[in-house]
Amino acid sequence: YVNGQAQPSFSGIRTTYTVVTDGQTLNQRLLDKYSISPAEAFYDNRIPGYPSLPMNEEIAEEVSALRNIVSVTQNVDVFPPDYPDSQMMLFPFVTSPDFPWTRDNYGPLWIPKAGVKVTLTPQNLPLYRRIITVYEGHTFEEK
């Protein structure tokens, strides 16, 4: 949503999927075929498959049909809201329990255009404190 309006999805949009293999790693040719860079395909020998692989539905269907694939599951959220430091994955990095946002359940967050003033309240202060101090470079003092 942008300005309260649902935004259209477009063809080819990628989200993350968990790909569980039979223990074999996915080879680089396969990743290249789907334009997935090594940096996007995290692999850990302690767990089967890639915990976070960016794919669209079409790619996920093709990958799930491969012989060495046990399952392909779309990730709704990478971290649940109660996961330690999960809020540090999302701008504006709010640590307040009043904002248990995830990347799939996010907002609302009003971003004012230049010259517009935001009325700060105890409820919205966690959202704007970092923006005011870090991004705008102002000092901030609560009274």
Which domains can be identified in the chain, with CATH numbers?
A: 15-74 (3.30.70), 79-143 (no CATH)
Q: Strands 15-21 and 50-55: what pairing?
A: antiparallel
pTM score:
0.56
* pLDDT over 80 (residue 83): no
Report the alpha-carbon distance of residue 101 to residue 93 in Å, rounded: 10
pLDDT at 66: 94
pLDDT at 33: 95
Q: What is the pLDDT of residues 97-143, one digit of tens each?
A: 788 777 777 788 888 888 888 899 988 888 888 888 888 899 988 88
Answer for the pair 42, 83: CB distance below 8 angstroms, yes or no.
no
Mean pLDDT, the chain, whole residue set: 81
C-alpha angle 20/44/90, rounded to 5°? 90
* pLDDT over 70 (residue 88): no
